[in-house]
Every structure is written in structure tokens, then in C-alpha cells.
Structure 1
């Protein structure tokens, strides 16, 4: 009987530990799961993502991120059109169906270097999570236990300095492994309050190794409002 109570106390202690983690401890555990060798800082790889959406043609994108060289490119094909946005440090190159565009022709195709920067930030952020939560301007909020679609998670609230962004994000981690399984964001009003019917949530499933980092292969996007399905990004292994 004594050993039974000792075991129960031990199990209770581990359970309490997972529920009472600080935000920094939870993030550190999640990064240890996804990037145990600290490879994100030196990330240099090319990967392919296929986007499927209801009632729309699929889009296939080849994405190159080389953080040490400050290089990024995304080449996307949809229907008969292929576009490339490339940033090599401060140099921007825009290509349409294999032809490099000057500024006037790029404008005609609605292609801009600002959009290239937007794509760079977008893909680097999503595929660099949760490591990107250590970036300057990121504010870690409290950790809470939350049930989403019948499963319990440790949830980390994240806000950003005004210069970075105004959305409020929630990251859902498996309480046993600390794998990131969902993230969700909400827009805010002029007073900084969340708009409950705004934003989206993204369900993550399966995993692959990319530069030694555990990366979710499938991202299914939904509106927070009415759980409306938007589309799915699938990382395709070559």
C-alpha cells in the first residue's frame, strides 16, 4: 500500500509539473522536441508544398530558405502560370513563366518586391515554428490547459510588439511530447481586444525531417468562425 501511494504521488508530481510550466519552459521543451540540435539558426534547404482548396486549382510551390546566406525564393505553379519571387540579401528578382521582369512588366503582372518580402516572412515564420517564437518583439503570455476538439493541450498565448504585428496567437502543444499540433490566431480591434469571430486555426498532422528539424507535413486551415474549411498545405517529400 505504501508503494502504491508513493507511485501515485510521483505520477501526480509529473502531471502537476506539465500543467505548471512557465511560458519559457513550455517553449523550450517544444523547441527541444522539434529542433533538438539547434539547426533552425543555420537552416538551408529547399522543399515543396502543395496547396489544395475547395473549388480551386492546386498550387505547387518550391521554397528555398537559406538563413546564413540571407536568401529566399518561392517558385509557384498554378494552372499554366509559374512565378518566382527571390530575395538575395537586398536584391529582389521577379520572374514570370521563366522570364525575369523589369519593374514595369512586374507591375503589369501584379508582382512586387514587397510581396516577395511578405512571402519570405510568411514561409520563414510558419516553417520556423516554434523556434521563431524566440524572435525579438515576441511576447510570451501565460500557459493554460485547454481542450480543443476533444483533445487536451498545453496552450501558449503569444502577442507581438506593435511594430511586428497586432494579431493574438495561441500555440497548442501535446502535454506529453510537447509537439506543436495546432496554432490559432485572432485579429484585434482598435483597443487591442480579440475579435472572437476573426482569424483562423491550423491543424497540424504527420511529421517529416527537414534539416534535422521535425516539421509538420500537413497543415489544414479553418476559419475560427463556424469552423469553415479553407484549404490544406502538404509538404511533399522528393
Structure 2
């Protein structure tokens, strides 16, 4: 009798182990959910992001992104001021209220430098290209898929590091175990200090066949302090 029980335990253990998802399988399934028709590599569209933050006025960002042509335009509107960064491959131009003639003072005030524009281009391309961007060179997927409970819900969790020169932070991506939708991500500069932030994703907006998160709410890891919310809108 004991032998039979042991055999059953080992059998079910092997079945469970055999069904355990790998990091690459999890990422493939999430990409299939968010980008079922492989549109990210040919993405060419415009969308708007409204940022709401405590004790500050709203900021509207209009993003025009053309992946095949390596073009990116970000137009920001806040407090009756409009400024932009435009990239055609690595050629960069900036403008303030429609003019490319920008004083040194205004450049400092609004961060109108190509260096700042590159940061914004990488920021929007990365966040709105997830989870597809996790297939980019220099992205290191941890072999083990973890199971974690976050804010009362159980997730499949993928840990991601980056090669030197690509990124320094450690990221965790949380996926719904039934649909494989990405619902949370979290990053640390130094995980031992519990620094960095986590981002809660809610709702979906279809932009050129890609299911992008409708809202992203940002919080500090260390104290759950709310930082702000990005709301995605079709142009």
C-alpha cells in the first residue's frame, strides 16, 4: 500500500513538473496575447498618453511611432505650453510652441535637448512595446518562472536582467496565469534596498491590433506611495 502511494506521489510530481512553464514559453504566450498578429515589428501609429500626478496639472503626450522607419515624435502639452522631440533615425530636432529656435534658458526649463529626447523615446518605446520588447538583444530572461501573490492575486512572474550597456535595473513582470496578460511590472535599482517602483496595469486599448494597457498607476516599492497614472487614448 505504501509503495502504491509513493508511486502515485512520484507520478503526479512528474506530471506537474512536466507541465511547468519555462520563461521563454511564458513570454511567447504573453506576446501572443498582446500582439497576436505580430504588429509590433511593423508598428506605425499615433496614440496619446494623459499623465495625472498628485499636486500637478495634467500632461498630455502625443506619440507618433514608426518602428520600420525608426521615426519617433513626442509632442508634450502642459500648462498652455507645447514642446516636442522628433527623431528620424538618430537625427534629432526639438521645438517649443512650434518654433525650433529655442533659447538656452527655455532649453533648460523644458529639458529640450536631444539627450532628454532619447530618454523619452526609449521610455515610451519600451513601455508601450512590452512584452514584445523583452525579445530585444541584451535582455536576459531568468530561467525560472516564479509564482507570486501580489495585491491578493497570484501571478506567473518573469525576472529580467540586462546586459551591461543595455540596462542596470532588475525587472519583474507579472502575468495572469490564465490569459498570460501582463498586469504588473516592478523594477529595482538595488533590490536589497527595496527601492524602485511597481506599476499596476488595468484595462486594454487596441492600437493597431496590439493590446496595450489602458492605465498604468505608479507606486514606490518601499512605502506604496502613489506617484501618478498614465492613461492611454487613441489619437
Question: Structure 2-normalised TM-score?
Answer: 0.89
| 1:202 to 1:118, Cα distance in 2 relative to 1, 3 A | same
- Which residue pairs with 2:150 in the alignment? 148
Moved over 6 A (4+): none
1:180-199, aligned counterparts within 5 Å? 180-188=182-190, 194-199=191-196
* Cα deviations by residue, 1:153-212 (Å, 9 ceiling, x for unpaired): 000000000111110000000000000000000013xxxxx2342000000000011110
3-state SS of 2:28 partner: helix
Alignment-derived partner of residue 100 in structure 2: 100
Please state if 1:39 is matched with 2:34.
no
Q: What CA distance in whole angstroms lies between the structure 2 residues aligned with 1:83 and 1:197?
A: 35
The CA distance in 1 between the partners of 2:192 and 2:83, in whole Å, is 35
Confirm or deny: 8 A CA contact 1:157 1:170 kept in the other structure. yes
Q: Answer whether contact 2:46 2:234 (CA < 8 A) is retained.
A: no
**Mapped partners of 2:102, 2:55: distance in 1:** 33
User: Is 2:234 the partner of 1:237?
Assistant: yes
**Shift in CA distance, 108/174, structure 1 to aligned 2, threshold 3 Å:** closer
1:89 corresponds to = 89
TM-superposed deviation, 1:236? 1.8
Q: Distance in 2 between matches of 1:101 and 1:74?
A: 17
Indicate the residue corresponding to 2:50 in structure 1.
Answer: 50
Q: Report if the CA contact (8 A) 2:200-2:218 is conserved.
A: yes
Q: Deviations over 1:99-145 (max 9, x none)?
A: 11368576454411011111110000000000000000000012100
SS in 1 for 2:116: helix
Partner Cα distance (1:235, 1:95) in 2: 24
User: Which residue of structure 1 aligns with residue 212 of structure 2?
Assistant: 215
Query: 1:106–1:112: 8 Å Cα contact kept in structure 2?
Result: no
- Residue 20 of structure 2 aligns with which residue? 20
Deviations 1:216-237 (A, max 9, x none): 1100000001110000000123
- Alpha-carbon distance in 2 for matches of 1:18, 1:229: 40
Number of equivalent positions: 221
SS at the partner of 1:57? coil
The two structures, once aligned, show a CA RMSD in angstroms of 2.0
What is residue 130 of structure 2 aligned with on the other side?
129
Q: Which runs of 5+ in 2 are unaligned?
A: 1-11
* C-alpha spacing 1:198/1:83, structure 2 compared with 1 (3 Å): same
Any idea what SS the aligned residue of 1:231 has? strand
Q: Deviations over 1:52-99 (max 9, x none)?
A: 001100000100110111100110111121110110112211010111
